[in-house]
Amino acid sequence: DVKVTQSSRYLVKRTGEKVFLECVQDMDHENMFWYRQDPGLGLRLIYFSYDVKMKEKGDIPEGYSVSREKKERFSLILESASTNQTSMYLCASTGTGIDEQYFGPGTRLTVT
Amino acid sequence: GEDVEQSLFLSVREGDSSVINCTYTDSSSTYLYWYKQEPGAGLQLLTYIFSNMDMKQDQRLTVLLNKKDKHLSLRIADTQTGDSAIYFCAESYGGYQKVTFGTGTKLQVIP
């Protein structure tokens, strides 16, 4: 019954490292999203993609990039990780129905 | 820009009703949502309401929408310990289901 998976549950990286977070969905959804979740701030949209090779900036894209080479996979890239990118990262995919929304379990990233 | 606000914490006794409140600023919202996040998990869509509705009931869940005051609430009847989680209010408009989330309310259910 797995729908949205994320490559790691916990990740520890050093400042300046390049970090890849992978998200895979098995529902043939067009739309995929990356959010970060911080206490007291809720979820904030980083990037989203509505088709292969298409991407749109969300509310907080600075310091991040994304890649969508295949429909089922959406990657979030931190080119040079910084301590203020320590957070929980959540991936989501949505279908055409309003209730077709699925989130991955999240990746807790710590940058030291 | 859009802004969705919630109180951060709510504590209720098992068996009581819980009411989680949310205010939003974007009057052009199409849908409003409630999500549940259990510890260590991603979000799960609990229920949603279309902006031209006032109320929606789904088993123990009742959603009330006051468009005039831009106020959304989620009532959980007969709250159980399994309802302990963070609840997010959210809104969307336009295509691609781009959703703006609130800050989340942590519900603690006391046995």
- Looking from the CA of B26 toward its CB, the CA atoms found within 13 Å total 19
| Burial of residue B75 (number of CB atoms within 10 Å: 0-12, 13-18, 19+) | middle
How many inter-chain contacts (A to B, CB under 8 Å) are there?
A: 47
What confidence tens digit (pLDDT) does each residue in B36-52 have? 999 988 999 999 999 88
User: Could you say which residues from 34 to 73 on chain B have a Cβ atom under 8 Å away from some Cβ of chain A?
Assistant: 40-45, 48
| Burial of residue A73 (number of CB atoms within 10 Å: 0-12, 13-18, 19+) | middle
What confidence tens digit (pLDDT) does each residue in B21-32 have? 999 987 777 889
Backbone angles phi, psi at A24, to 5 degrees: -130, 135
What confidence tens digit (pLDDT) does each residue in B67-78 have? 999 999 999 999
- Strand runs (DSSP E) across B14-104, as ranges? 18-24, 31-37, 43-50, 55-58, 61-66, 71-76, 85-92, 99-101
**Are B22 and B4 spatial neighbours (Cβ–Cβ below 8 Å)?**
yes
Among B42, B48, B98, whose Cβ lies nearest the Cβ of A98? B48
Which residue has 């994320």 as its token pair?
Answer: A6
Confidence (pLDDT) at B21? 97
Search chain B and give the residue with CA nearest A10: B40
